[in-house]
Structure 1
């Protein structure tokens, strides 16, 4: 039976950084919400309003001294003898059979390396990026593009190295240094300079990127200083009396400080066209939630998350700790070395003693960060710590394959050993962390959906975890889940509302639009834009009068968001999915094809495109797309499954069976595969294999209604009427409210 709700087959690939006392927060942070819309303009701030660090130095000598030479100061520099750290003295470096030659000519720095067509060219180094532990180099390309080399300088070991030494990155790959992954304009600029405007032109596929100041200056954090300087001058230097609207000032609530830093220290999607210091975090950016490939299912770092997404999971964040409690905001260095940093808040007699850390004093195991902030190396040599500040959980490692600090240090031991020793030292792990509910849901455990719902509803848990639980419900989406999700649209958390809209936005059913329309007036731009996407299937003339003004304003915000991200695969996919909601299939196909021009290896986009080709009746292109995916990613089981369904529709059932059997090899726990394979076997009258297949599925999920139904149907087709009736009777007992099962059982009872 087809359910009343129809679902669009698409994925939105998101694109992508006070005191410790229990002080009541007045700031309306990422976790809080408001229903009064404030339409913040994305108007660009003029370069003339930025005065530069030398103007700040006059009054803020100590702050300037701390900042000078910091990672922020050196975030981006013009390539010169004073800024370049790498050895360009006729040096050669080879990785994956590509040799780069670094040299100087006429006082400038050059590299001869593989270009976008696989041939070798000379490139002038225009800028340096960063200083420690590595420095990258930027070259100029046509159409306003600037690209970062994937060969970088290790400033600790003083040698050249590859950022991707373990990958054979060919010149046509998105990861190649001449392609999107290493593009400065959209991947780097916004956080390495001050007042950046990407200025991407979708019609010409070109950039005219601008900034006010080349590095992360004082005004990158505090905002343009011209008005402040003017007021201080009039006040004869008494800057504390200035009323100018500077950002990140003394006395700011801790959560607001974190949100301000998060603008760059966060893996996120950009919502607005330009960041202009107006509004709040969710008016300009939307953070990546805890999801596959970015985080482990318990929320620990997997890929780079740039701190924010981890830190807002932590107990510290929710108890008023902010970035500046541990880091000097101007030098960016930590305030104290060793455990003294943590003992600012934690009682030394209780926590900085062997009875707590269970290791020898002054050993690596006695350091707080090694147990509670383990880390990973990114970009090959950049070690970054997990800021979720959690207690090690080897029991979760055993259940879900997540890391724990114990075996990251004791590399010769396994998780079973870690759990046994943990119990000896601390007793049974306390199962009161959100990961005990999130991990089962994200990994598809039998009770996973209920775990996610429990987590999402419990406001005692971090908003990041609750929103991630909602995002994790996408694979479970049905009528009952939809009804649960609708209640979250009135949640106190804007992040929770936005996550709910992301999931509900997959529904192509106008019956739910009345729930989404009020959110066009939400205070946060991120929520409004997601609400607009969710009602994409609504014609503008059908918008109720009370929402028409808001609809027009949010439409402009939505279009600006789409254009802002049009140089990303995810941006093109989102535009395509919006066209699908509008019923414009050919335009959606065009956008997916453009997405693949950006990254020809993005098989999320290609899978969706293959299904759209199928929907459009272009079976040849659909089949070609599936074959391309299989060639590029032969171990990706989902493709075999989708390809099998296409072949089945084309009545090429035996070929479909072969493909779905391959899908089972890679996804043996996917119950739906056994259902479809069993159904295909009945289609070719191979009832013996149908029964074997379905019974294998039932071994994994004994009470699965779909499998029991197919088994009963197979028995019936094979004239095993008693077995059919017994199986159908079990179905009715398990699902007494399912009228389809009841009707089927009654038909079998009447069979002679």
Structure 2
């Protein structure tokens, strides 16, 4: 029989969909502080787009007036803001802004020695450069104020890089941001590469009116800002119109005035409106537009990272840096109208009350702030609401941040899914089982339903999770980000019944669900995508339109109805802008490669895939795509070499073994193929098609007992994958094991009773069993 191997093309496409929002625009720097200087805050009459050697371009946009102008009328707000995290987001390196010890201090970590010193009045560091050798570098800017401060160095071509070594402002010592990692200079997270590049990772949220201005052809930046820090106008928008109106005489004391006529992020916004505006910086997200002009909604500019287990624990608790949006929008607080400014002073960013008094603004003390609720003695850390319902994690070495999903501890989930819980995080000498027993004693055995019950199951990628995930997706009372994540997990299940629920997401009222549905369905054949995704080209949300356009990019415009062509052209322009915005990311280059691959420009696709690995040597998804490109061109040895490099760099990455096995099978090297396919089955586990292809390869090598085991293991993963029943029916008939063949042939016939081949199978089986 002919081997019907699954296309390796789809495997790499799925890998890309998984990783697109992980790398593109995902922030890695903490929300930190820094000082400003007066010259940064005023526009004056200097020439526009001023740039000094070794400094970031200052764009003196006349619409941005600076905080000193705001101070004139808003002295209370200015006083709160001054010296806040936002005020101190970034500063020129000076004696007043630098907090680290630059008095010849030597710091060593992971074999890298750094010396911090001053020379001719300048702050300097001698540390490992991009060539792996030590060099002297001048510090241009400080980045952050507490609990850590980083330092920025100017590099050629407009690149500004944040050092890997930071200053602990509390302990007053230098420390390594990655103390457990030996980092190759070719890696994305080396301080001279993209992971610690200010232009790419930091600028959009740490300064005001930023334009990244990346040139993909030259790999250079001409970035600019209007104000160096997070000023009043970073949140409220350019102040010129507001000031002109207030000075025009049209405003009189006691008259009705609406600040929102000229400003943004004003008081009186609903929870959804306020969080949507704060999210532009307080969210892990993919960027779609260079710069933010305050108009429209959050997803016109960005697409937030969903709460899948790439960056969150399986139940949605914070794991990697999340910047609050992803956790807070899961919470009952958010869905009951609580907003950022109910707890935080919007200008100082400090909490409005201390301890439990903050929570007691809304929650009655006689019900919650008692031993009858928390079962702990006294007034101490064990009786503070946040330590049970708002646990946290330390990022960047010393920056502790709390999880804003405000959840009830679930040690029962910890036992099954290895998720954290507040009980054993505090009682480190106790087990999760102990915590479960305590909670059941206090509150009974039954837990209130929570979307995390479905997400934890979904994180296993097992077919049994399907029903719970579909129910979560379709329950519009649940958080949109959780529903989008459920859809994402559904897309990874090996069951054709997932198709209709995923398609339903395309018309969901929540843009993050529509966006995620388009991402998942982009692997479909062009004609099917055209039918399903074309309506999204008219979506009200820019990121949704752009995602749909990118998915449909390979379809020539003349194949669309005339009434759709203008919408497709506009959405493709928006998608093209998003490609350019993210071209400084490895996944951005991979997206370029995919685009050129779709429109049949293979040389440009190859160039983009290779450039992704220039940006990050360890970024393997681009190698997988390039291997697929080579395979389509008949360059199978080149493709094989790339797959084997992936395996060398990530020896536990099962899909790479699967792709390698499929390629070797295509090359008629079945003895080698079965080894890779077997390894893939072991590592991936939940993909029945791996077992199917492994079984076919074994069967063609006449290793019949092993092939039978592979097919049967695949049916354990997905009993509904009819291809496995077909393969087993053929295998058993060839071996004249008619009794074994019968139940599988019956399943085939039940699925398609009019198929002559299946009827012939049953006739042969029944004849031989008489």
Normalised to the residue count of structure 2, the TM-score between the two structures is 0.89
Structure-2 separation of matches of 1:57 and 1:258: 25
CA distance in 2, matches of 1:217, 1:673: 54
Seen in structure 2, the aligned counterparts of structure 1 residues 748 and 9 have a Cα distance that, compared at 3 Å, is: farther
> For structure 1, which runs of at least 5 residues remain unmatched after alignment?
18-43
Match of residue 193, structure 1, among 207, 231, 235: 207
Once residues 532 and 686 of structure 2 are traced to their aligned partners in structure 1, the CA distance between those partners, rounded to angstroms, is 36
Q: Secondary structure at the match of 1:220?
A: helix
Measured in 1, the distance between the counterparts of 2:756 and 2:612 equals: 42
**Which deviations, in whole Å up to 9, do the C-alpha atoms of 1:265-307 show, x marking residues without a partner?**
0000111122111211111111001123211221111111100
Q: Tell me what 2:694 maps to.
A: 677
Contact 1:148–1:177, Cα closer than 8 Å, also in 2:
yes
Q: Distance in 2 between matches of 1:289 and 1:60?
A: 38
Whether 1:76 aligns to 2:56 is no
103-112 or 577-586, larger mean C-alpha shift = 577-586
Q: In the TM superposition, what is the alpha-carbon distance from 1:138 to its structure 2 partner?
A: 0.3
Gaps of 5+ in 2: 28-57
Partner of 2:143: 129
Moved more, 125-134 or 358-367: 358-367
Please name the residue that 2:741 is paired with. Answer: 724
Counterpart CA distance in 2 for 1:738 and 1:345 is 65
Confirm or deny: 8 A CA contact 1:79 1:109 kept in the other structure. yes
Deviation at residue 561 of structure 1 after TM alignment: 1.2
| Residue 232 of structure 2: aligned partner | 218
1:423 equivalent in alignment to 2:440: yes
Q: How many residues align?
A: 724
Say yes or no: does 1:462 pair with 2:476: no
Matched, 1:609 2:626: yes
Report deviation, 1:668: 4.3
State whether residues 166 and 176 of structure 2, in contact with CA within 8 Å, keep that contact through their aligned partners in structure 1. Answer: yes
1:575-615 Cα offsets, whole Å, 9 max, x none, are: 22233333444433332222122111011222222222222
Q: Could you tell me whether the CA contact under 8 Å between 2:251 and 2:257 is conserved in 1?
A: no
Counterpart of 1:47 (choices 61, 69, 73) is: 61
**What secondary structure, in the 3-state scheme, does the structure 2 residue paired with 1:121 have?**
strand
For the residue of structure 1 that corresponds to 2:537, the secondary structure is helix
**Counterpart for residue 745 of structure 1:** 761
Q: From 536, 543, 558, give the equivalent of 2:560.
A: 543
Specify the alignment match of 1:168 in structure 2.
182
Asked if the contact 1:258–1:322 (Cα under 8 Å) also holds between the matched residues in 2, the reply is yes
Deviation, 1:722, is 3.4
Are the equivalent residues in 2 in contact too, given 1:508–1:537 (CA < 8 A)?
Answer: no
Residue deviations 1:549-575 (CA, integer Å, cap 9, x gap): 322322222211111111112222222
Asked if structure 2 preserves the Cα contact closer than 8 Å seen for 1:7 and 1:508, the reply is no
Mapped contact 1:678–1:689 kept (Cα < 8 A): yes
1:154 is the counterpart of 2:168: yes
SS at match of 1:502: helix
Q: Structure 2 matches for 1:370-519, cutoff 5 A? A: 370-476=387-493, 480-519=497-536
Cα deviation per residue 1:157-184 (whole Å; 9 max; x = unaligned)? 1100000000111212111000010000
d(CA) in 2 for partners of 1:648 and 1:589? Answer: 24
Residues 411 and 432, structure 2, Cα contact 8 Å, conserved in 1: yes
Structure 2 CA distance for aligned equivalents of residues 331 and 740 of structure 1: 75
Mean Cα deviation higher: 555-564 or 63-72: 555-564
C-alpha separation in 1, matches of 2:767 and 2:585 = 59
CA distance in 1, matches of 2:506, 2:11: 21
* Contact residue 731 and residue 741 of structure 1 kept, 8 A: no
Compute the displacement of 1:100 (Å). Answer: 0.3
Deviation at 1:237?
A: 8.0
Q: Secondary structure at the match of 1:47?
A: coil
Indicate the SS of the match to 1:418. helix
> What does residue 48 of structure 2 align with?
none
Distance 2:251 2:273 in 1: 28
CA shift, 1:705, in A, is 4.0
Structure 1 residues 614-625: aligned runs within 5 Å = 614-625=631-642
Moved more, 447-456 or 376-385: 447-456
SS of 1:447's equivalent in the other structure is helix
Equivalent position of 2:570 in the other structure: 553
The 5 Å alignment of 1:304-315 reads 304-315=321-332
1:368 deviates by 0.8
Of 516, 520, 524, the residue aligned with 2:537 is 520
CA pair 729-523 structure 1, distance change in 2 beyond 3 A = closer
CA contact (8 A) 1:300 1:310 kept: yes
Shift of 1:245: 1.4
Deviation at 1:472, TM superposition (A): 2.0
Aligned twin of 1:39:
none
Q: Structure 1 residues 429 and 157, CA, compared in 2 at 3 Å: closer, same or farther? A: farther
**SS where residue 125 of structure 1 aligns?**
strand
Aligned to 1:178: 192
Which whole-Å CA distance do the structure 2 matches of 1:81 and 1:532 have between them?
51
Larger RCO (alpha carbons 8 Å, 6+ apart): 1
CA distance in 1, matches of 2:212, 2:446: 48
Give the SS at the match of 1:420.
helix
Q: Which of 349, 353, 356 is residue 332 of structure 1 equivalent to?
A: 349
Deviation at 1:724, TM superposition (A): 2.5
Residues 1:390 and 1:9: Cα distance change in structure 2 (over 3 Å): same
- Displacement of 1:255 in angstroms is 1.3
Query: Structure 2: how far apart are the matches of 1:743 and 1:181?
Result: 60
CA distance in 1, matches of 2:85, 2:64: 20
- Whole-Å separation in 1 of the counterparts to 2:709 and 2:754: 26
Secondary structure at the aligned position of 1:113 is classed as strand
- Closer/same/farther in 2, CA of residues 498 and 508 from structure 1, 3 Å limit: same
CA distance in 2 between counterparts of 1:395 and 1:477 reads 27
Equivalence for 1:206: 220
| 1:687 equivalent in alignment to 2:704 | yes
For the residue of structure 1 that corresponds to 2:157, the secondary structure is coil
What is the match of residue 640 of structure 1? 657
Between the aligned partners of 1:596 and 1:474, the Cα distance in structure 2 is 27
Distance 1:364 1:747 in 2: 74
State the match for 2:155 in structure 1: 141
Q: Does 1:367 align with 2:384?
A: yes
Structure 1 pair 388/739, CA: closer, same or farther in 2 (3 Å)? Answer: farther
Q: 1:694–1:71: structure 2 CA closer, same or farther, 3 Å change rule?
A: same
Give SS of 1:295's match: coil
Q: Please, what is the CA RMSD of the aligned residues? A: 2.5
**Measured at CA, do residues 701 and 237 of structure 1 come closer, stay the same or move farther in structure 2, by a change above 3 Å?**
closer
Residues 1:338 and 1:620: Cα distance change in structure 2 (over 3 Å): same
> Secondary structure of the residue that 2:224 maps to in structure 1?
coil
Please list, as runs of the form range in 1=range in 2, the aligned pairs for 1:20-59 lying within 5 A after superposition. Answer: 47-59=61-73
The Cα of 1:46 is off from its aligned counterpart by: 6.6
The answer as to whether partners of 1:265 and 1:308 remain within 8 angstroms in 2 is yes
TM-aligned CA deviation for residue 626 of structure 1 = 1.2
Q: Secondary structure at the match of 1:376?
A: strand
Residues 524 and 694 (structure 1 numbering): CA distance in 2 closer, same or farther, change over 3 Å?
closer
8 Å contact from structure 2 (residues 554, 599) kept in 1: yes
Rate the CA distance shift 1:254–1:701 in 2: closer, same or farther, 3 A.
Answer: closer
The CA distance in 1 between the partners of 2:765 and 2:723, in whole Å, is 20
